[in-house]
Amino acid sequence: MSWKSRLTFQNVAFVLLLLVLLAAIPSSLSYAYHHGGFYIFSAAFLRDLPKRLTGPGRFRFVLQPAAAIFLGIRAGIADARASRPPYILGLVRGSSQRLSLVKEAVAQLSTLTAVAILLDAISQFLILRAIFPGAALVVGPVLIALPYSLSRALSNRWAVLRSRAVNP
């Protein structure tokens, strides 16, 4: 296997993510030492959240959820065709399918989530002049997970209702 076959966007995104998070650990630990706790558990984290909405990179708050919604709709329609329950209900109630549903979502969203975390780290640096790995690991995936889960569940319901109306 040549190095060119291993040089994919997904691999590059994960390597960059790992490097950024590892590079941010010393400053994060320094912040925790000087402030008596980690940034993500501080009032400063809550005060800084609105800065992310207005600062550099705010377009990601539109682009990333839109991509997650697109993937969720596609997966929800596939769920309806396969007669699977809506995604969120399958996670909550369907213990036999729970693991396969989570694996499928992780496979679809892993690169998008890595990019979301990277973009959050970059915007933290541009806005706050520091990178806090814990905050990036929370804020980035939230932009993906909620829209994906809701759009997958709702598109499944819509597709099932539409198929019932067409084929009574």
CB of 64 closer than 8 Å to CB of 116: yes
Q: Flag whether pLDDT at 7 surpasses 90.
A: no
**Where is pLDDT greater, at 12 or 5?**
12
**Where is pLDDT greater, at 72 or 95?**
72
State residue 5's pLDDT score: 65
State residue 4's pLDDT score: 63
Task: Determine if the pTM surpasses 0.75.
Answer: no
* Count of positions (residues) in the chain: 168
Segment 93-113 mean pLDDT: 79
Torsion-angle region of residue 94: left (phi > 0), alpha (psi -120 to 50) or beta?
beta
- What is the rounded CA–CA span in Å between residue 103 and residue 159? 22
